[in-house]
Chains A and B, each alone.
Chain A
């Protein structure tokens, strides 16, 4: 029973390098989300996808891009990493509609940018 799977779990980058965080869900959910979690800041929404083929900016989208590859997969790309992007990143999915707000989270990806 996989739920939401994120890869990689840990990554260290140098400033200016690029990388993609992968996320896949097996619950047939329409909506998918990328959050970042920083100490004392709670969770902040980076991007979300309400349905396959659509993506929208969240609270902190600068420096990131996303791709909703299909209904299952939603990737987050850092084109030129900066130390301010050091964080723990969480992917989540939701059935949407009357299940709005009921999110299923992955285990997180811890990214360090030197």
Chain B
């Protein structure tokens, strides 16, 4: 049972470079999220998706792009990396059903990607 898989685990970028953080889930969840966690801080939502083809901005979307072409995959693209994007990135998924049926749902997290922009 793989759950939520993120790659790579670590990456160092130079300022101005671009890269894509991969996220795949094998639980057929409809909702997927990208969070960033700066040192000593909480989780901030970057983007989320409620299903294939649908994405929406979170709290800190600037400098990032996402796509959701399939239920399984939710890649996060960094264009023109900046030192302010140095952070740990977490992908997460859940099956949102709402109401009392949703009482069993929870958020499943990947193991994180540690990104440094130098």
Partners in one complex: no
- Seen from chain B, the residues whose Cβ lies within 8 Å of a Cβ on chain A are none
